């Protein structure tokens, strides 16, 4: 099983590739809605991408209030 830090790094790499932004522009603790400028539909796309990549099922109500990659990584790590 990957460590929490490895999961976080994979998420950052995936998000950067999916939204076509340089990886170094994304930081674990920043608000990704602001950094990426994404709307709800794009957020769902990211959720699907992450579920497919990590082979987990993440109910979207668990994402309520989650806006930074570190918290998101914690949610995914808990289901690995």
Partner 1 sequence: MLETTKDAKVHERESGMQLAGQSAESALSWKLADGVIELALHRGPCNELGSASLEELEKFTTALQLMQEQAHALIIYSELKPGFCAGADLHELYRRSETMDKTEAVKGVRDFLERIHRVLNLIDAAPLTTIAAVHGVTFGGGFELALACDLIIADKMARFCFPELRLGLIPGFGGIPRLKRDLGNGVVRDLLLTGRSINATKAQQIGLVSQVVGEGEALRAARATAAQLGKFDRATAVAAKKFIKPIPYEELRREIDIFCELFARPAVQLGLRKFVESTDALPYLP
Which residues lie near partner 1 (CB under 8 A)?
33, 38-41, 43-45, 47-49, 51-52, 57, 59-61, 63-64, 67
Residue closer to partner 1, measured from CB, 27 or 48: 48
Name the H helices within 19-79. 32-36, 40-54, 69-77
With respect to partner 1, which residue has the nearer C-beta, 1 or 41?
41
CA angle 70/5/59 to nearest 5° reads 50
CB of residue 26 to partner 1, shortest distance in Å? 17
Q: Which is nearer to partner 1, 9 or 67 (CB)?
A: 67
Minimum CB distance to partner 1, residue 28 (Å): 19
With 0-12 CB in 10 A as exposed, 13-18 as middle and 19+ as buried, what is 21?
Answer: middle
> For residue 6, what are its two tokens?
């490895």
Rounded least distance, CB 62 to partner 1, Å: 9
| Whether 63 contacts 47, CB under 8 Å | yes
């Amino acid at each position: 099983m990957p460590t929490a830090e490895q999961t976080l790094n994979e998420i950052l790499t995936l998000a950067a590739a999916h939204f076509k932004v340089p990886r170094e522009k994304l930081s674990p603790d920043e608000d990704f809605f602001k950094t990426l400028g994404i709307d709800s539909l794009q957020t769902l796309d990211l959720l699907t991408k992450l579920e497919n990549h990590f082979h987990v099922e993440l109910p979207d109500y668990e994402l309520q209030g989650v806006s930074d990659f570190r918290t998101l990584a914690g949610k995914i790590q808990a289901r690995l």
